[in-house]
A = this chain, B = another copy of it.
Protein backbone atom coordinates (compact mmCIF):
# COMPACT_ATOMS: atom_id res chain seq x y z
CA UNK A 1 0.00 0.00 0.00
CA UNK A 2 1.33 3.44 -0.87
CA UNK A 3 1.94 5.97 1.89
CA UNK A 4 -0.90 8.45 2.31
CA UNK A 5 -2.28 11.34 4.31
CA UNK A 6 -5.94 11.63 5.16
CA UNK A 7 -7.68 14.71 6.51
CA UNK A 8 -11.36 15.56 6.21
CA UNK A 9 -12.93 17.83 8.83
CA UNK A 10 -16.36 18.23 7.17
CA UNK A 11 -19.28 17.51 9.49
CA UNK A 12 -22.05 15.55 7.78
CA UNK A 13 -25.66 15.71 8.95
CA UNK A 14 -27.52 13.02 7.06
CA UNK A 15 -31.10 11.86 6.92
CA UNK A 16 -34.78 12.64 6.93
CA UNK A 17 -35.66 16.21 7.97
CA UNK A 18 -31.98 17.08 8.36
CA UNK A 19 -32.34 20.26 6.28
CA UNK A 20 -34.15 21.87 9.21
CA UNK A 21 -30.84 21.85 11.09
CA UNK A 22 -29.03 24.30 8.80
CA UNK A 23 -30.32 27.38 10.68
CA UNK A 24 -28.93 26.22 14.03
CA UNK A 25 -25.56 25.35 12.50
CA UNK A 26 -25.22 28.82 10.97
CA UNK A 27 -26.62 30.77 13.92
CA UNK A 28 -24.24 29.01 16.36
CA UNK A 29 -21.32 30.27 14.28
CA UNK A 30 -22.68 33.85 14.58
CA UNK A 31 -22.21 35.05 11.00
CA UNK A 32 -23.34 38.57 10.12
CA UNK A 33 -24.69 37.77 6.65
CA UNK A 34 -24.71 34.54 4.67
CA UNK A 35 -24.72 34.23 0.87
CA UNK A 36 -27.30 31.65 -0.19
CA UNK A 37 -26.12 30.33 -3.57
CA UNK A 38 -28.45 28.31 -5.77
CA UNK A 39 -28.99 26.99 -9.27
CA UNK A 40 -31.77 27.55 -11.73
CA UNK A 41 -34.72 27.13 -9.43
CA UNK A 42 -35.39 23.41 -8.91
CA UNK A 43 -35.08 23.92 -5.14
CA UNK A 44 -38.14 26.17 -5.30
CA UNK A 45 -40.13 23.35 -6.91
CA UNK A 46 -39.07 20.52 -4.60
CA UNK A 47 -39.54 22.45 -1.36
CA UNK A 48 -35.87 22.56 -0.33
CA UNK A 49 -35.69 26.37 -0.65
CA UNK A 50 -38.65 26.69 1.71
CA UNK A 51 -37.12 24.28 4.23
CA UNK A 52 -33.80 26.14 4.17
CA UNK A 53 -35.15 29.68 4.42
CA UNK A 54 -37.64 28.70 7.13
CA UNK A 55 -34.78 27.27 9.17
CA UNK A 56 -32.60 30.35 8.57
CA UNK A 57 -35.39 32.72 9.56
CA UNK A 58 -36.36 30.69 12.63
CA UNK A 59 -32.76 30.98 13.82
CA UNK A 60 -32.29 34.64 12.98
CA UNK A 61 -29.71 34.08 10.23
CA UNK A 62 -29.44 37.06 7.90
CA UNK A 63 -28.85 36.15 4.24
CA UNK A 64 -28.75 37.40 0.66
CA UNK A 65 -29.48 35.24 -2.38
CA UNK A 66 -27.70 34.60 -5.66
CA UNK A 67 -29.35 32.37 -8.26
CA UNK A 68 -28.45 30.98 -11.63
CA UNK A 69 -25.50 28.62 -11.24
CA UNK A 70 -25.69 26.22 -14.17
CA UNK A 71 -24.31 22.71 -14.78
CA UNK A 72 -20.65 22.85 -15.83
CA UNK A 73 -20.49 26.07 -13.77
CA UNK A 74 -18.73 29.04 -15.29
CA UNK A 75 -15.94 31.36 -14.27
CA UNK A 76 -18.10 34.28 -15.40
CA UNK A 77 -20.86 33.51 -12.90
CA UNK A 78 -18.31 32.97 -10.14
CA UNK A 79 -16.68 36.34 -10.82
CA UNK A 80 -20.08 38.05 -10.84
CA UNK A 81 -20.96 36.43 -7.52
CA UNK A 82 -17.64 37.34 -5.88
CA UNK A 83 -18.40 41.02 -6.60
CA UNK A 84 -21.93 40.54 -5.26
CA UNK A 85 -20.59 38.80 -2.13
CA UNK A 86 -18.11 41.62 -1.45
CA UNK A 87 -20.73 44.31 -1.98
CA UNK A 88 -23.01 42.56 0.47
CA UNK A 89 -20.20 41.97 2.97
CA UNK A 90 -21.13 38.31 3.47
CA UNK A 91 -19.03 36.29 5.90
CA UNK A 92 -20.13 32.77 5.00
CA UNK A 93 -21.60 30.89 2.05
CA UNK A 94 -24.46 28.43 2.03
CA UNK A 95 -24.60 26.40 -1.19
CA UNK A 96 -27.99 24.80 -1.79
CA UNK A 97 -27.86 22.48 -4.76
CA UNK A 98 -25.77 19.81 -6.45
CA UNK A 99 -22.09 19.62 -7.31
CA UNK A 100 -22.17 22.62 -9.64
CA UNK A 101 -23.54 24.94 -6.98
CA UNK A 102 -21.14 23.61 -4.33
CA UNK A 103 -18.16 23.84 -6.69
CA UNK A 104 -19.10 27.43 -7.54
CA UNK A 105 -19.45 28.21 -3.85
CA UNK A 106 -15.92 26.92 -3.24
CA UNK A 107 -14.55 29.12 -6.02
CA UNK A 108 -16.41 32.13 -4.60
CA UNK A 109 -15.32 31.28 -1.05
CA UNK A 110 -11.63 31.33 -1.93
CA UNK A 111 -11.94 33.92 -4.72
CA UNK A 112 -13.50 36.38 -2.26
CA UNK A 113 -10.00 37.05 -0.88
CA UNK A 114 -8.04 36.76 -4.13
CA UNK A 115 -7.01 39.13 -6.88
CA UNK A 116 -8.50 36.77 -9.46
CA UNK A 117 -9.91 33.26 -9.09
CA UNK A 118 -8.67 32.08 -12.51
CA UNK A 119 -5.12 33.04 -11.53
CA UNK A 120 -5.59 30.73 -8.54
CA UNK A 121 -6.83 27.94 -10.84
CA UNK A 122 -3.71 28.45 -12.94
CA UNK A 123 -1.54 28.14 -9.78
CA UNK A 124 -0.38 31.75 -10.21
CA UNK A 125 -2.00 32.98 -6.99
CA UNK A 126 -1.96 31.30 -3.57
CA UNK A 127 -4.93 31.17 -1.19
CA UNK A 128 -4.47 32.10 2.45
CA UNK A 129 -8.07 32.28 3.56
CA UNK A 130 -11.57 31.46 2.40
CA UNK A 131 -15.12 32.18 3.48
CA UNK A 132 -16.56 29.36 5.62
CA UNK A 133 -18.73 27.12 3.47
CA UNK A 134 -21.93 25.24 4.34
CA UNK A 135 -23.90 23.06 1.95
CA UNK A 136 -27.34 21.53 1.57
CA UNK A 137 -27.00 18.82 -1.06
CA UNK A 138 -29.82 18.19 -3.53
CA UNK A 139 -28.13 15.78 -5.95
CA UNK A 140 -25.61 13.09 -5.02
CA UNK A 141 -22.85 12.83 -7.59
CA UNK A 142 -19.65 14.80 -7.29
CA UNK A 143 -18.79 14.27 -3.62
CA UNK A 144 -18.06 18.01 -3.45
CA UNK A 145 -20.12 18.18 -0.23
CA UNK A 146 -17.28 16.36 1.58
CA UNK A 147 -14.07 17.27 -0.16
CA UNK A 148 -11.92 20.31 -0.83
CA UNK A 149 -11.85 20.31 -4.64
CA UNK A 150 -13.87 22.02 -7.35
CA UNK A 151 -14.12 22.29 -11.13
CA UNK A 152 -14.84 25.42 -13.13
CA UNK A 153 -15.29 26.20 -16.81
CA UNK A 154 -13.73 29.21 -18.49
CA UNK A 155 -16.12 29.62 -21.42
CA UNK A 156 -13.86 32.17 -23.14
CA UNK A 157 -10.84 29.87 -23.35
CA UNK A 158 -13.00 26.71 -23.36
CA UNK A 159 -11.06 25.31 -20.41
CA UNK A 160 -12.67 23.18 -17.69
CA UNK A 161 -10.15 23.00 -14.89
CA UNK A 162 -10.03 21.56 -11.41
CA UNK A 163 -8.49 23.07 -8.29
CA UNK A 164 -8.76 22.89 -4.53
CA UNK A 165 -7.42 23.83 -1.11
CA UNK A 166 -7.63 22.47 2.43
CA UNK A 167 -9.42 25.75 3.21
CA UNK A 168 -12.38 24.56 1.15
CA UNK A 169 -13.72 21.58 3.05
CA UNK A 170 -17.33 22.53 3.87
CA UNK A 171 -17.77 23.14 7.60
CA UNK A 172 -21.12 21.34 7.53
CA UNK A 173 -22.92 19.50 4.76
CA UNK A 174 -26.51 18.42 5.06
CA UNK A 175 -27.70 15.46 3.01
CA UNK A 176 -31.40 14.65 3.07
CA UNK A 177 -31.92 11.75 0.63
CA UNK A 178 -35.64 12.55 0.49
CA UNK A 179 -34.78 15.89 -1.16
CA UNK A 180 -33.72 13.83 -4.20
CA UNK A 181 -37.08 12.06 -4.66
CA UNK A 182 -38.06 14.53 -7.38
CA UNK A 183 -34.80 14.41 -9.36
CA UNK A 184 -35.35 13.53 -13.02
CA UNK A 185 -34.18 9.94 -13.66
CA UNK A 186 -31.48 11.20 -16.03
CA UNK A 187 -29.87 13.26 -13.27
CA UNK A 188 -30.01 10.37 -10.84
CA UNK A 189 -28.15 8.19 -13.35
CA UNK A 190 -25.64 10.93 -14.13
CA UNK A 191 -24.90 11.20 -10.43
CA UNK A 192 -24.41 7.46 -10.10
CA UNK A 193 -22.13 7.36 -13.15
CA UNK A 194 -20.06 10.20 -11.71
CA UNK A 195 -19.66 8.25 -8.47
CA UNK A 196 -18.64 5.11 -10.38
CA UNK A 197 -16.11 7.14 -12.35
CA UNK A 198 -14.60 8.45 -9.09
CA UNK A 199 -14.27 4.89 -7.83
CA UNK A 200 -12.65 3.91 -11.13
CA UNK A 201 -10.06 6.68 -10.93
CA UNK A 202 -8.64 5.00 -7.81
CA UNK A 203 -9.49 1.35 -8.45
CA UNK A 204 -6.52 0.09 -10.43
CA UNK A 205 -3.63 2.13 -9.05
CA UNK A 206 -2.30 -0.29 -6.43
CA UNK A 207 -3.45 -3.87 -6.03
CA UNK A 208 -1.73 -3.92 -2.61
CA UNK A 209 -4.26 -1.43 -1.23
CA UNK A 210 -6.50 -4.44 -0.60
CA UNK A 211 -8.85 -2.77 1.86
CA UNK A 212 -9.37 0.28 -0.36
CA UNK A 213 -10.18 -1.89 -3.35
CA UNK A 214 -12.61 -3.96 -1.26
CA UNK A 215 -14.31 -0.82 0.06
CA UNK A 216 -14.47 0.63 -3.46
CA UNK A 217 -16.00 -2.56 -4.81
CA UNK A 218 -18.61 -2.38 -2.06
CA UNK A 219 -19.31 1.24 -3.05
CA UNK A 220 -19.63 0.40 -6.75
CA UNK A 221 -21.89 -2.60 -6.21
CA UNK A 222 -24.10 -0.48 -3.98
CA UNK A 223 -24.32 2.34 -6.54
CA UNK A 224 -25.28 -0.14 -9.28
CA UNK A 225 -27.89 -1.90 -7.12
CA UNK A 226 -29.41 1.36 -5.88
CA UNK A 227 -29.67 2.81 -9.41
CA UNK A 228 -31.55 -0.35 -10.43
CA UNK A 229 -33.96 0.12 -7.53
CA UNK A 230 -34.46 3.83 -8.22
CA UNK A 231 -35.22 3.16 -11.88
CA UNK A 232 -38.30 1.30 -10.64
CA UNK A 233 -39.14 3.53 -7.69
CA UNK A 234 -37.57 7.01 -7.48
CA UNK A 235 -39.05 7.50 -3.99
CA UNK A 236 -37.31 4.43 -2.50
CA UNK A 237 -35.79 6.17 0.55
CA UNK A 238 -33.33 3.42 1.41
CA UNK A 239 -32.01 3.34 -2.16
CA UNK A 240 -31.67 7.17 -2.24
CA UNK A 241 -29.86 7.11 1.12
CA UNK A 242 -27.44 4.34 0.20
CA UNK A 243 -26.73 5.90 -3.19
CA UNK A 244 -26.18 9.29 -1.55
CA UNK A 245 -23.69 8.06 1.05
CA UNK A 246 -21.89 5.87 -1.52
CA UNK A 247 -21.46 8.88 -3.81
CA UNK A 248 -20.09 10.95 -0.90
CA UNK A 249 -17.67 8.16 0.06
CA UNK A 250 -16.56 7.80 -3.56
CA UNK A 251 -14.72 11.12 -3.32
CA UNK A 252 -14.21 12.03 0.34
CA UNK A 253 -10.71 10.59 0.53
CA UNK A 254 -11.62 7.11 1.80
CA UNK A 255 -11.82 5.67 -1.72
CA UNK A 256 -8.33 6.99 -2.47
CA UNK A 257 -6.50 5.56 0.56
CA UNK A 258 -3.09 4.24 -0.56
CA UNK A 259 -3.92 4.95 -4.20
CA UNK A 260 -1.29 7.61 -4.82
CA UNK A 261 -3.76 10.33 -5.77
CA UNK A 262 -5.56 8.24 -8.38
CA UNK A 263 -5.40 8.15 -12.15
CA UNK A 264 -7.86 10.81 -13.41
CA UNK A 265 -7.39 10.25 -17.16
CA UNK A 266 -11.14 9.71 -17.66
CA UNK A 267 -11.97 12.95 -15.88
CA UNK A 268 -9.38 14.86 -17.88
CA UNK A 269 -10.85 13.54 -21.13
CA UNK A 270 -14.41 14.31 -20.04
CA UNK A 271 -13.45 17.81 -18.89
CA UNK A 272 -12.07 18.59 -22.33
CA UNK A 273 -15.17 17.08 -23.93
CA UNK A 274 -17.67 19.14 -21.97
CA UNK A 275 -15.51 22.28 -22.13
CA UNK A 276 -16.06 22.20 -25.91
CA UNK A 277 -19.58 20.82 -25.71
CA UNK A 278 -21.07 22.28 -22.52
CA UNK A 279 -24.45 20.67 -23.26
CA UNK A 280 -22.92 17.34 -22.23
CA UNK A 281 -23.52 16.67 -18.57
CA UNK A 282 -20.48 15.50 -16.62
CA UNK A 283 -21.95 12.15 -15.55
CA UNK A 284 -23.23 11.26 -19.02
CA UNK A 285 -19.85 12.14 -20.55
CA UNK A 286 -18.08 9.95 -18.01
CA UNK A 287 -20.51 7.10 -18.71
CA UNK A 288 -19.24 7.12 -22.30
CA UNK A 289 -15.55 7.68 -21.54
CA UNK A 290 -14.86 5.28 -18.67
CA UNK A 291 -16.03 2.11 -20.47
CA UNK A 292 -13.77 3.09 -23.39
CA UNK A 293 -10.87 3.70 -21.01
CA UNK A 294 -11.47 0.30 -19.40
CA UNK A 295 -11.67 -1.35 -22.80
CA UNK A 296 -8.36 0.23 -23.79
CA UNK A 297 -6.64 -0.71 -20.53
CA UNK A 298 -8.24 -4.11 -19.89
CA UNK A 299 -7.41 -5.57 -23.27
CA UNK A 300 -3.74 -4.99 -22.41
CA UNK A 301 -3.95 -6.35 -18.86
CA UNK A 302 -7.13 -8.44 -18.43
CA UNK A 303 -6.26 -9.89 -15.02
CA UNK A 304 -6.08 -6.51 -13.38
CA UNK A 305 -9.66 -5.76 -14.45
CA UNK A 306 -11.37 -9.08 -13.63
CA UNK A 307 -12.21 -7.87 -10.13
CA UNK A 308 -13.87 -4.72 -11.53
CA UNK A 309 -16.08 -6.69 -13.89
CA UNK A 310 -17.19 -8.93 -11.03
CA UNK A 311 -19.13 -5.96 -9.64
CA UNK A 312 -20.98 -5.86 -12.99
CA UNK A 313 -21.81 -9.57 -12.78
CA UNK A 314 -19.05 -10.86 -15.08
CA UNK A 315 -15.42 -11.86 -14.66
CA UNK A 316 -13.84 -11.69 -18.09
CA UNK A 317 -13.05 -8.63 -20.16
CA UNK A 318 -15.22 -9.31 -23.20
CA UNK A 319 -18.44 -10.24 -21.40
CA UNK A 320 -17.65 -7.64 -18.72
CA UNK A 321 -17.41 -4.81 -21.23
CA UNK A 322 -20.70 -5.86 -22.80
CA UNK A 323 -22.43 -6.16 -19.43
CA UNK A 324 -21.17 -2.76 -18.28
CA UNK A 325 -22.29 -0.96 -21.45
CA UNK A 326 -25.61 -2.84 -21.46
CA UNK A 327 -26.26 -1.75 -17.89
CA UNK A 328 -25.52 1.89 -18.72
CA UNK A 329 -27.78 1.62 -21.79
CA UNK A 330 -30.52 0.00 -19.68
CA UNK A 331 -30.33 3.01 -17.41
CA UNK A 332 -31.11 5.10 -20.51
CA UNK A 333 -27.71 6.78 -20.57
CA UNK A 334 -25.48 7.32 -23.65
CA UNK A 335 -22.82 4.69 -24.27
CA UNK A 336 -21.00 6.29 -27.19
CA UNK A 337 -19.80 9.67 -28.40
CA UNK A 338 -22.33 9.25 -31.19
CA UNK A 339 -25.09 9.02 -28.57
CA UNK A 340 -23.75 12.35 -27.25
CA UNK A 341 -24.17 13.85 -30.77
CA UNK A 342 -20.43 14.21 -31.34
CA UNK A 343 -19.42 13.95 -35.03
CA UNK A 344 -16.36 12.01 -36.06
CA UNK A 345 -14.98 15.25 -37.53
CA UNK A 346 -15.05 16.79 -34.04
CA UNK A 347 -12.61 14.26 -32.62
CA UNK A 348 -9.32 15.99 -33.58
CA UNK A 349 -10.44 19.23 -31.86
CA UNK A 350 -11.31 17.24 -28.75
CA UNK A 351 -7.94 15.47 -28.84
CA UNK A 352 -6.20 18.86 -29.15
CA UNK A 353 -8.12 20.17 -26.16
CA UNK A 354 -7.22 17.10 -24.10
CA UNK A 355 -3.55 17.46 -25.02
CA UNK A 356 -3.57 20.99 -23.49
CA UNK A 357 -3.49 19.33 -20.04
CA UNK A 358 0.12 18.99 -18.85
CA UNK A 359 -0.46 15.44 -17.57
CA UNK A 360 -3.13 12.93 -18.63
CA UNK A 361 -3.42 9.88 -16.38
CA UNK A 362 -1.56 8.79 -13.28
CA UNK A 363 -0.79 5.10 -13.85
CA UNK A 364 0.54 5.63 -17.34
CA UNK A 365 0.98 9.09 -18.82
CA UNK A 366 -1.12 9.11 -21.97
CA UNK A 367 0.20 10.34 -25.28
CA UNK A 368 -1.79 11.59 -28.26
CA UNK A 369 -2.15 8.09 -29.74
CA UNK A 370 -3.58 6.73 -26.46
CA UNK A 371 -6.20 9.48 -26.40
CA UNK A 372 -7.07 8.92 -30.06
CA UNK A 373 -7.50 5.21 -29.44
CA UNK A 374 -9.75 5.76 -26.41
CA UNK A 375 -11.92 8.28 -28.26
CA UNK A 376 -12.29 5.84 -31.15
CA UNK A 377 -13.36 3.11 -28.70
CA UNK A 378 -15.81 5.62 -27.22
CA UNK A 379 -17.10 6.53 -30.64
Within 8 A of B (CB), among A1-24: 1-18
A36 on the B face (CB < 8 A): no
Tell me which of B11, B16, B210 contacts A7 (CB under 8 A). Answer: B11
User: Chain A 235-259, CB within 8 Å of chain B: the 1/0 string?
Assistant: 0001001100110010000100110
Check if A208 is an interface residue, CB within 8 A of chain B.
yes
Q: In the complex the two chains form, is B238's CB within 8 Å of A208's CB?
A: yes
Interchain nearest-CB distance for A174 vs B (Å): 10
In the bound complex, how far is the Cα of B219 from the Cα of A225, in angstroms? Answer: 20
Cα(A226)–Cα(B208), bound, Å: 12
Instruction: Give every chain B residue within 8 A of A4 (Cβ-Cβ).
Output: 12, 14-15
Contact B1 A5 (CB under 8 A): no
Let me know if A62 is at the binding interface, CB within 8 A.
no
Tallying the copies of this chain within the complex gives 2
Give a binary string over A94-105; 1 marks a CB under 8 Å from any B CB, 0 the rest: 000000000000
Identify the closest chain B residue to A245 (Cβ). Answer: B211
A373 near B: Cβ within 8 Å? no
Task: Check: A33 CB closer than 8 A to any chain B CB.
Answer: no
Query: Is A129 part of the contact surface with B, judged by Cβ < 8 Å?
Result: no
Q: Is residue A163 within 8 Å, beta carbon to beta carbon, of the partner chain?
A: no
**Which residues between 364 and 378 of chain A lie within 8 Å of chain B, taking CB atoms?**
none
Is residue A322 within 8 Å, beta carbon to beta carbon, of the partner chain?
no
How far does the Cβ of A225 sit from chain B's closest Cβ, in whole Å? 7
Report 17 cross-chain contacts, Cβ distance below 8 Å, ordered by A residue.
Answer: A1-B242, A1-B245, A3-B17, A4-B12, A4-B15, A5-B11, A6-B12, A7-B11, A208-B241, A208-B242, A210-B222, A210-B226, A210-B242, A211-B219, A211-B245, A214-B218, A245-B258
